[in-house]
Copies of this chain bind each other. A is one copy, B any other.
Amino acid sequence: MASNYSQKAGLPPGTLTYLGVKPEHDIKISMIDYDESHLEMKVIEETNVLPTYHAKSTVSWINLDGVHNLDLISEIGKIFTIHPLMLEDIANTSHRPKLEEQDEHIFFTLKMLFYDESSAELSSEQVSMVLGKNYLISFQEYEADIFDQVRERIKSGSGRIRGRGADYLVYALVDAVVDSYFEIIEKLEAQVDLLEDRIQFEPDKSDFHQIMKLKKEFANIRRHISPLREALGFFEKSESKLIDVRTKYFFRDVFDHILLASDSLEASRDRLSIILDTFNSTISNRMNQVMKTLTIISTIFIPLTFIAGLYGMNFHYMPELQWKWAYPAVLGLMGIIFIGMIVYLKKRKWM
A172 surroundings in chain B (CB, below 8 A)? 12-13
Report B-chain residues with C-beta under 8 Å of the C-beta of A171.
Answer: 13
Whether the pair B190, A2 counts as a contact (CB closer than 8 A) is yes
Does the CB pair A278–B318 fall under 8 Å? no
- Tell me if A205 counts as interface (CB < 8 A to partner B): yes
Nearest first, the 5 A-B pairs at minimum CB distance are: A12-B159, A308-B309, A9-B179, A2-B189, A311-B313
Tell me how far the C-beta of A105 lies from the nearest C-beta in chain B, rounded to whole angstroms: 12
- A297 and B290 contacting across the interface, CB-CB below 8 Å: no
Instruction: Give me 9 A-to-B residue pairs in the complex whose CB atoms sit less than 8 angstroms apart, sorted by A's number.
Output: A1-B193, A2-B189, A3-B264, A5-B260, A6-B186, A10-B149, A95-B256, A293-B295, A293-B299
The answer to whether B314 touches A305, judged by C-beta atoms less than 8 angstroms apart, is no
Q: How far is the CA of A21 from the CA of B309 in the complex (A)?
A: 70
How far does the alpha carbon of A140 sit from the alpha carbon of B153 in the complex, in Å? Answer: 31
Residue A119 CB within 8 A of the other chain? no
A binding-site residues for B, Cβ under 8 Å = 1-6, 8-15, 83, 85, 89, 94-96, 98, 100, 102, 149, 153, 158-161, 171-172, 175-176, 179-180, 182-183, 185-186, 189-190, 192-193, 200, 202, 205, 208-209, 212, 215-216, 219-220, 223, 227, 249-250, 252-253, 256, 259-260, 263-264, 266-267, 270-271, 274, 277-278, 281, 283-295, 297-299, 301-306, 308-318, 320-327, 330, 348-350
Residues from chain B with Cβ under 8 Å of A324 in the complex: 317
Give the interface centre of A304, A315, A322 by most chain B CB atoms within 10 Å: A315
> How many Å from the CB of A129 to the closest CB on chain B?
16
The residue from B260, B310, B349 contacting A202, defined by CB atoms under 8 A apart: B349
CA A182 to CA B266, docked complex, whole Å: 24
| Chain B residues positioned under 8 Å from A294 (CB to CB) | 291, 294-295, 298-299
Known: A294-B295, A303-B297. Is A14-B159 also a contact (CB below 8 A)? yes
Minimum CB–CB distance for A65 against chain B, Å:
19
In the complex, what residues of B have CB within 8 A of residue A297's CB?
Answer: 298-299, 302-303
- Give, as a whole number of angstroms, the nearest-CB distance from A310 to chain B: 5
Query: In the docked arrangement, what's the CA distance between A151 and B182, Å?
Result: 38
Check B159–A15 contact: CB distance below 8 A: yes
Q: In this complex, what residue of B is CB-closest to A98?
A: B256
Which residues from B are CB-within-8-Å of A326? 315, 317
Which listed residue (B202, B259, B278) contacts A96, Cβ 8 A?
B259
- Interface pair B291/A287, CB less than 8 Å apart: yes
Contacting residues, chain B, for A289 (C-beta < 8 A): 348
Give complex CA distance A348, B285 in Å.
13
Is the pair A314, B317 in contact by a Cβ cutoff of 8 Å? no
Please give, as numbers and ranges, the residues of chain B lying within 8 Å of A287 by CB-CB distance: 288, 291
- Report chain B residues within 8 Å CB of A215: 274
B residues less than 8 Å from A284 (CB atoms): 283
Pick from B185, B219, B301: contact of A303, CB below 8 A: B301
Distance to closest chain B CB from A25 (angstroms): 25
Cβ A175 vs Cβ B318 within 8 A? no
Contact A14 B160 (CB under 8 A): yes
Closest to A294 in B: B295
A256 touches B96 (CB 8 A): yes
What is the distance, in angstroms, from A302's C-beta to the closest C-beta of chain B?
5
Contact across chains for A290 and B295 when beta carbons are under 8 A apart = yes
